[in-house]
Amino acid sequence: MQAENTPKQFFQINKLSRENLMKQNALVLWFTGLSGSGKSTIADLVENEFHRRGVLTYSLDGDNIRNGINKDLGFSEKDRSENIRRIGEIAHLFCEAGIVVLASFISPFQKDRKIASYIVGDENFYEIYVNTPIEVCEERDIKGLYKKARSGEIINFTGVSSPYEKPLKPYLELDTIKKTKEECSMLVVESMIGKIRK
């Protein structure tokens, strides 16, 4: 809902102007999956390959955002929804700037991912499901979060004490059991590069 007495300001230079200047179409690649599924790792490999090919990108990551603009939010369902709404708004701004955004967030609820897609613009939003079984995520547990969640130190932890709703129709589904992180990243790159290039 638009705030009262704050009409939207329009400028002469718009998204299309910036895309034409940079010779690329701005999109948001939204990587979703459990903690430890490999979202950020794969997104990082994708960004490196895009950079090598001359695509201007920016990565948004859950941990980094929560240490900055969203550090006032907890992990209740309400706060998780607000976290994703704000991220959707940030991704939208970068997309309007003509940049390809790689957003890596657990984003466990379908309704929140749908809101993020609406904010960004459905035509610019590509949901990528990093499908890694929770057993594998727990084996990795690099940050020790699953162990803390199982012991009750962390509440509302996705996959343990809070649900993860799998995407119904993601643009891409990456099976990290059958494919390496490098293979997954190249699948994303090859699927998206034709949509990005002008």
Nearest to 100 by CA among 197, 176, 168: 197
**DSSP helix/strand/coil, 150:** helix
Bridge partners of residue 130, in order along the sequence: 174
Asked if residue 108 lies in contact with residue 157, where contact means CB atoms within 8 angstroms, the answer is no
Q: Give the pair of three-digit tokens for residue 151.
A: 């012991």
From 35, 104, 107, 117, active-site residue:
107
Active site residue 107: yes
CA 189/CA 45 separation, integer angstroms: 9
CA 68/CA 77 separation, integer angstroms: 20
CA 4/CA 93 separation, integer angstroms: 21
Bridge partners of residue 173, in order along the sequence: 129
Catalytic residues: 107
